[in-house]
Amino acid sequence: MVEATTNPSDSNSVQLAAVDLGSNSFHLLVAQETNGRLQIIDRIKEMVRLAEGLEAKNRLSEEVADRALACLERFGQRLTDHETQNVRVVGTNTLRKAHGAKGFLAKAEKALRHKVEIISGQEEARLIFLGVSHAVEDHFDRRLVVDIGGGSTELILGGRFKPQFMESLYIGCVGLSRSCFADGRIRVGSFKAAINQARQQLEPLQRNFQEYGWDTAIGASGTILAIQDVLVEMDFQRDGITLASLVEIKKQLIKARHVDKIALPGLSAERAAVFPGGVAILCAIFEALEIETMHATNGALREGLLYDLLGRVQHQDIRENSVLDLMNRYRIDRPHAKRVRETAIELLAQVAVSWELTEPNDKLLLGWAAQLHEIGIDIAHNQYHKHGGYLLRHMDLPGFSNLDQQHLAALVRAHRHKFPKEEIPPVNGDTSRVGLLAAVLRLAVVLHRNRTSEPLPHVAMSAEDHRVKLALPEAWLKKHPLTRLDLQQEAEYLAAVPLNVEICAS
């Protein structure tokens, strides 16, 4: 639950902001953080209906893109004074699906003045559960959380703040309304088809959810909140949302015959067009999971983003836990990984300014890649860097955006042997940030190839454009001739980056 602080102007306080670029609505949430507590000080919501803009081959239409960018310009004005590390902007299902979205994302980041992260369905579900868990009193051991968005529906089972079973379905109120109520007409047959379409998506998971069980069911976000508002106005809201109350809403929608004629009390005109699809999805969920009662809450993805961001500010980053979990699961040699990480971070510190690798994320990604660079050995030693890259590219990593996960995978893939230029192409004809981070990681790995716990001497690394100089004490190089040969071979590999690496005695 969001706690109010008694002194928002305290010198120790900071403003955090979360932006949720949903398939139906865009949300901006600003909170004042003081001593680990959050007080919401601003909410802005605009119904953009981004999912409506997906044309053939999932291209985003110019009209909807312009509508979305106009909204983001307004959000950007509100975020003008916010520091980068205190803002998180995430895109969900529609931006996951949109082909050729790079141009739109570049304009979106310019409008917001902040980076946009595209997150996976699993990460979206985790953040939703986190937001809901902070919004409700925790009287229950286990809860089912349902969030019906414009382009996807998330179902999560878990307890307190920890999700244990998550699913993200490719069906939402905008998409289903376009599919089954495209002409705006609402008929018995179209409603039945919409419910059946949702039931098909639910079929593979309903047994697992039913067997796992829950103590209470909670609904989040616009569709379910709108259904609750309608039921309250209809005097049908007694002890929460039930299947009987949903059937009553369905009857009223069919009676209206067309979305333009929907006149349900408590329902806004702008939501009416996608309301039938949302109701159909919730009906299907109630039927498939045999839910008796559901209660709605205001906590959702954007609140989850704020609390996740608060964790990062307080050095309790869920991504750190994800990396540690993988190290345990894949039996990584932790002492060796630690040595490689420490050396990589030391080398980065020496070239960060000259290579413009000064963003906090650069150090974080390099450190995590060092900790996980041998993850693929648990699959097979031969070509383990390729196995590791594949694993990290395709698994669910809580806390990571899609782009950061792909960069992490690329670093692990590129940490040894021939440099995979085809997987880490240059940016604007120059070496990419990931390519430069990979070069630092590779050198750290080579310096620890003998896997001894003997500490390294000071390694001086300097860089100017594509030229790198690596200097070690002459006596140490004479004592470790194999390491010197390894470094010389690595210099040949890095020439493909292209980097001209000189190994010399200090």
Secondary structure letter of residue 99 according to DSSP: B
1.20.1600.10, 1.10.3210.10, 1.10.8.100, 3.30.420.40: which CATH number matches 322-505? 1.10.3210.10
Q: What's the pTM value of the predicted model, to 2 decimals?
A: 0.85
1.10.150.120, 3.40.50.12160, 3.30.420.40, 3.40.50.970: which CATH number matches 14-121+305-310? 3.30.420.40
Q: What pLDDT is recorded for position 222?
A: 87
Q: What pLDDT is recorded for position 136?
A: 84
- Cα–Cα separations (whole angstroms), residue 388 to 83, 394, 448, 464: 34, 10, 19, 31
Q: What pLDDT is recorded for position 6?
A: 37
* Nearest residue to 283 (alpha-carbon basis) of 241, 252, 255: 241
Q: What pLDDT is recorded for position 66?
A: 94
Is residue 418 within 8 Å of residue 493, measured between CB atoms? yes
Question: Under 8 Å CB-to-CB from 238, ≥6 apart: which residues?
Answer: none
Q: What pLDDT is recorded for position 102?
A: 83
Q: What pLDDT is recorded for position 53?
A: 86
User: Can you say whether the dihedral through the CA atoms of 240, 245, 247, 250 is positive or negative?
Assistant: negative
Sheet with 216-220, strands from edge to edge, namely 162-169, 153-159, 143-148, 216-220, 294-297
Q: What pLDDT is recorded for position 312?
A: 84
Backbone phi, psi, residue 471, to 5°: -120, 130
* Nearest residue to 240 (alpha-carbon basis) of 223, 262, 224, 259: 224
Backbone phi, psi, residue 139, to 5°: -100, 5
- How is the chain split among helix, strand and coil, in percent rounded to 5? 50, 20, 30
Q: What pLDDT is recorded for position 7?
A: 41
Q: What pLDDT is recorded for position 1?
A: 33
Determine the Cα angle at 251 with ends 245 and 257, to 5°: 145
Within this chain, domains 137-297 and 322-505 share the same CATH topology:
no
Q: What CATH number has the domain spanning 137-297?
A: 3.30.420.150
Give the chain's length: 506
* Dist. CA 475–CA 459, nearest whole Å: 13
pLDDT digit string (tens) for the chain, length 506 residues: 333 333 444 456 789 999 999 998 999 999 998 877 889 999 999 999 898 888 878 888 999 999 999 999 999 999 998 999 999 999 998 999 888 788 899 999 999 999 999 999 999 999 999 999 888 876 667 899 999 998 899 999 998 788 989 999 999 999 899 899 989 999 999 999 999 999 999 999 999 998 888 999 999 988 999 999 999 988 876 678 999 999 999 999 999 999 999 999 999 888 999 999 999 999 999 999 999 999 999 888 999 999 999 888 777 889 999 999 999 999 999 999 999 999 999 999 999 999 999 998 999 999 999 999 999 999 999 999 999 999 999 999 999 999 999 999 999 999 999 999 888 866 555 678 999 999 999 999 999 999 999 999 999 999 998 899 999 999 999 999 999 999 999 999 999 888 999 999 98
Q: What pLDDT is recorded for position 3?
A: 36
Question: Under 8 Å CB-to-CB from 353, ≥6 apart: which residues?
Answer: none
How do the domains of the chain map onto residue ranges? Answer: 14-121+305-310, 137-297, 322-505
